Amino acid sequence: MHQSPRHYFETRLRPASDPMTAAARLASSGLHPDYVVYENGGTWSYAGGALAEITLDRSGARLRKQEQEEVLLPWDGRPLQQVQSLLDTVRIKDWRAYGWAAFELSYAKDGDLRHVGDQRLLHLVVPHTEIRIEAGEAYLRSADQATLSAALDVLAEEHTESRAVPDPVDVRQAGADAYRRAVGAAVDAINGRVLQKVIFSRVVPVDHELDFVGTYLAGRRGNNPARSFLLSLGGIEATGFSPEIVVQVAPDGRVVSQPLAGTRALTGDRAEDDRLRAELLTDPKEIYEHAISVKIACDELLEVCAPGTVDVEEFMVVKDRGTVQHLASRVGGQLADGQGAWDAFKAVFPAVTASGVPKDAAYDSIRSNESEARGLYGGAVLTVSHEGAMDATLVLRSVYRQNGRTWLRAGAGIVGQSRPERELEETCEKLGSVGRFLVPAAEPVEAVGAGAGAMAGGTRP
């Protein structure tokens, strides 16, 4: 072990279990009450505790550091610039921050607080302990040697993995009638040229206590997401299997967005799935819904990218995501001089595939027709680094717990050709990506060999 400048002690080892299980064991170890687990392209990261913490609400942006006085930047109408300014003061070598942004940040990112309550809009931590697991090796760093040693013990311990039995919930009934009515109202508004597309969601309550770590493990094995996450941060717990990124920014300024729009079920029957895939690729409603989403993604990147660099790198391919298949495209560009990761995030957040077209009209419609604020749903879980990189994933296909309440939430994209019954069915298809994997708390478990099948996320249930 050796001490790095700026407070981190570092070491590495080969964990006794696969990366997903190792990250989950860190989350359940009790090392830190607040943590974020984030999967990105075969790398699992665990961020526990906080050396520095940045939060944003209607009063402004706050920075808290261990044993130092809080710094408050009062609201000045440029919230994401304030977040960047606070991150610029972090003096920790090679820092990375982890956290989340609520959907309601979209209402306030340009300074307008009319539609924002007292809720937190963004929460980031530069962790006390960070562990990244990739290619069979764990890279550990912590602010103190005692915690580093404890984390080493968790990762090195041989164990027998426990497979809990999920207890699925009925996702069809909650709010179904209200959702049909909302879809009908949206179609009328679209046909009246008030907007072109909007995403409405509905909430499904979960009445029993959940084991969030067990749910993450079960759900990740049954999904093949673009990103996955497990977090307990700022009073919110969530785990999810995101189908798409909001935005990805490389240190050299290369920026990518990945709109997914257009959906059919994955049934597990190959012939039926192929039929639905062909239907998805030829359905005028689905193609239109997808095409306008790609157009908006291009327009948004044009705001922050150098002229001539924005292009559609991949167009309308089909991606399997758990219990559904989506039309997917990939839009990329090169950030213009003077533009950074938070500028790119501001340009594309929230994802057009979770809001609508045009966005301002979609926001009005969402606020008028949904039963409650979205919070983390439709927002982002993200990482950002000292070198200007960012990875922000769209929070969908997730389960949430806050203030003693647990729930699921899913939506569907509504355009002029939408039918209420079909859009309701689409929410059920999406809810299945999580709802069938909910693991009850303190439920009897069946022991299996350590790590067996832990990376079966590419298979469908």
- Catalytic annotation, residues: 244
Within a 10 A sphere around the Cβ of 273, how many other Cβ atoms?
A: 17
Tokens of 327: 């039309």
Q: What angle do CA 292, 355, 39 make, to 5 degrees?
A: 100
Question: How many angstroms separate the CA atoms of 204 and 178, rounded?
Answer: 13
CB 197 within 8 A of CB 296: no
The alpha helices in 176-283, defined as continuous H runs, are: 176-191, 212-221, 270-282
Cis status of the peptide bond prior to 358, with omega within 30 of 0: yes
Q: Per DSSP, what are the bridge partners of residue 410? A: 202
Q: Per DSSP, what are the bridge partners of residue 63? A: 54, 71
Question: How many angstroms separate the CA atoms of 422 and 410, rounded?
Answer: 14
Q: How much is the CA Rg of the chain, to the nearest whole Å? A: 21
Tokens of 353: 């595939």
Question: How many angstroms separate the CA atoms of 152 and 33, rounded?
Answer: 18
φ and ψ at 212, to 5 degrees? -70, -35
Sign for the pseudo-dihedral over CA of 179, 182, 188, 190: negative
Identity of residue 441: A
Nearest C-alpha neighbor of 216 from the set 453, 446, 430, 37: 37
CA 452 from centre of chain = 27
Identity of residue 461: P
